Amino acid sequence: MDSYLRPNMTFNVLDDLIISVRKTWDDVGFIPTPLAISTTLLALLLPFITLFVFALTQRETPLPPPAGCHKIGLRGRSNLSDQYAKKHASGGEPTASNPWTVKALFIYPLKSCAPVELEKSDVIQTGLRYDRQFTFAQQVTSLPNLDGQVTSEWVFSTQRTFPRLAKVEAEVWVPDPSSSHYDPESEWVKSEGCLAVRFPFTPDSDFTLQGLKNCGKMLAAKLAGRPEPMLEFRVPFNPTKEKIERMRYTKEKVKIWNDYPVALNMGSEVPYEIMAKLKYTLGVTNPLTLFRIDTEGYREVYKNAPKKQDVGFQTIIGMQDSYPLHIMNLASVHHISSNLPSGSPPLSVLRYRPNIIVTGPPPFSEDSWTKARIGGRTYHISCRTTRCKLPNVDPDIGIADRNQPGSTMLKYRVIDQGSKSACLGMQVSVLEEGEVGVGDGVEVLDTGEHLFLKK
């Protein structure tokens, strides 16, 4: 019905406007000649035309592409464009008509920020290449003790505390020898590319000249389909020793849960005014900086990971919470959605920040997987993923719901005797390096019991 109402409503508004204009002409004794009509319309539209032209002059000027690099990521429509379709809700045994396959792949180069979708990815010991190599951290200072001493430490930042991190975009640019600007001695190439970070920032608007320009920037952003203007900064993806010394990066401990890895503080790379605006956007009051995992000191994982004496190596990670990879079954997310309070919108699987999304298995069949082959490579399914309140954040708007889906999950997904938290998805350790791609087959090799270990 709406599609029929809108044109009629538009004609009604135009009719009312014409009647109003004609009445005004009658009141002033104006003759509605073609010239008079044109002049009146121009007078009515001139403020809007002026505002539009002014907005165009305030458009953001994007930074040029990093020399000699190309941006990684899926081109075109997302493989999750039909994630809410009912065909993904049930699943069943693997058959020719119901193959178990990789539906989509995602990396999160900057922890807790927006993902990058891929069509395929290298799988290395730390998970998907480029995944969770960076994190923001805030400096937290304790209250004075009885001796008047205070302690200070860098603590990683996530959407649990700062939901607006969901609106921070992270791009990875990698060296491209086919580029006409490629130079093996250029800084970006020597640094294995760069991480580009973009975030929304709404500037103050008032009746000053700068305030009017800020209004123009906001209007230009809306005309471009964005709710807010965006700011950007770039850092080398894996800086050379010369770059580290020149920019005076420091190696400091950063707290990630109960782990204190020594990481590279790259805060000197981010201009002060940019960092100040990022803090404002996120709602951070403490000092904020950017850390990169030390590639010479990856974090070792024990807990439910395979033992070194069994597989010949110790599982390692970058800035992940616990394990290298995270697998989600799309049917399981549909099941949670179906149990939400009436009227709730369907849940995006991206609320759960997976790396590998599979389709085909019935809901929660992954709970008992212990080993699987995906795309010809074998993976250790280490444990279930225990859930905090992060999935309550809507990744599209960066706003957290007070209860859902966490409250619904607590009703029937507290299933692991090692944890009192709800569980959804599986934590995975890499057994074989290689490649994984969308459409790869998923074969479960072993099943068994899981017991979540915190340490």
Domain-by-domain residue ranges, the chain?
Answer: 2-32, 69-193+237-447
Q: Nearest Cα to 263, choosing from 297, 300, 302? A: 297
Strands 434-437 and 120-124: antiparallel
Q: What angle do CA 290, 294, 296 make, to 5 degrees?
A: 170
Q: Cα separation of 232 and 292, whole Å?
A: 18
Q: Nearest Cα to 301, choosing from 405, 429, 158? A: 429
Return the higher-pLDDT residue of 317 and 10: 317
Q: Is the pLDDT of residue 5 over 50?
A: no
The residue-averaged pLDDT of 264-285 equals 96
- The pLDDT tens digits for 20-72 are 666 765 666 666 677 766 776 777 766 666 656 665 666 677 789 999 999 99
- pLDDT of 24 reads 67
User: Model pTM greater than 0.85?
Assistant: yes
- pLDDT of 292 reads 98
pLDDT interval class at 91 (50, 70, 90): very high
Q: Nearest Cα to 124, choosing from 315, 363, 350? A: 315
- pLDDT of 227 reads 77
Range name among 56-70, 142-156, 289-303 with the lowest pLDDT average: 56-70
Q: Is the pLDDT of residue 300 over 90?
A: yes
Task: Provide CB contacts within 8 A for 297, sequence distance 6+.
Answer: 261, 262
The residue-averaged pLDDT of 434-452 equals 98
Instruction: Note whether 73 and 117 are within 8 A (CB).
Output: yes
pLDDT interval class at 14 (50, 70, 90): low
Q: Nearest Cα to 217, choosing from 208, 204, 198? A: 204
Instruction: Note whether 348 and 395 are within 8 A (CB).
Output: yes
Q: Is the pLDDT of residue 7 over 50?
A: no
- pLDDT of 65 reads 92
Q: Is the pLDDT of residue 183 over 80?
A: yes
Q: How would you label 27-55 residue by residue, b for 16+ Cβ within 10 Å and e otherwise?
A: eeeeeeeeeeeeeeeeeeeeeeeeeeeeb
Q: Cα separation of 437 and 435, whole Å?
A: 7
The residue-averaged pLDDT of 250-276 equals 96
- What is the three-state SS of the chain? CHHHHHHHHHHHHHHHHHHHHHHHHHHHCCCCCHHHHHHHHHHHHHHHHHHHHHHHHCCCCCCCCCCCEEECCCCCCCCCCCCCCHHHCCCCCCCCCCCCEEEEEEECCECCCCCEEECEEEEECCEECCCCCEEEEEEEECCCCCCCCCCEEEEECCCCCCHHHHHCEEEEEEECCCCCCCCCCCHHHHCCCEEEEEEECCCCCCCCHHHHHHHHHHHHHHHCCCCCCEEEEEEECCCCHHHHHHHCCEEEEEEECCECCEEEECHHHCCHHHHHHHHHHHCCCCCEEEEEECCCCCEECCCCCCCHHHHCCCCEECCCCCCCEEEEEHHHHHHHHHCCCCCCCCCCHHHHCCCEEEECCCCCHHHHEEEEEECCEEEEEEEEEECCCHHHEECCCCEECCCCCHHHHHHHCCCCCCCCCCEEEEEEEECCCEEEECCCEEEEEEECCCCCCCC
- pLDDT of 3 reads 41
The residue-averaged pLDDT of 125-138 equals 98
- pLDDT of 206 reads 61
Q: Enter the tokens of residue 200.
A: 């929304």
Instruction: Note whether 290 and 235 are within 8 A (CB).
Output: yes
The residue-averaged pLDDT of 258-280 equals 96
* Phi, psi of 228, deg, nearest 5: -145, 155
Q: What angle do CA 235, 236, 237 make, to 5 degrees?
A: 110
Range name among 215-229, 334-348, 374-388 with the lowest pLDDT average: 215-229
Q: Cα separation of 442 and 283, whole Å?
A: 41
Q: Is the pLDDT of residue 299 over 70?
A: yes
For the chain, what is the mean pLDDT?
90
Q: Enter the tokens of residue 446.
A: 């072993």
pLDDT interval class at 317 (50, 70, 90): very high
The residue-averaged pLDDT of 136-164 equals 91
Q: Nearest Cα to 259, choosing from 307, 291, 306? A: 291
- By CB atoms closer than 10 A (0-12, 13-18, 19+), residue 247 is middle
Q: Cα separation of 251 and 266, whole Å?
A: 9
- pLDDT of 130 reads 98
- The pLDDT tens digits for 360-408 are 999 999 999 999 999 999 999 999 999 999 999 999 999 999 999 999 9
CA dihedral 432, 437, 441, 445 (to 10 degrees): 20
- pLDDT of 1 reads 41
The residue-averaged pLDDT of 307-323 equals 97
- pLDDT of 212 reads 62
Q: Is the pLDDT of residue 323 over 80?
A: yes
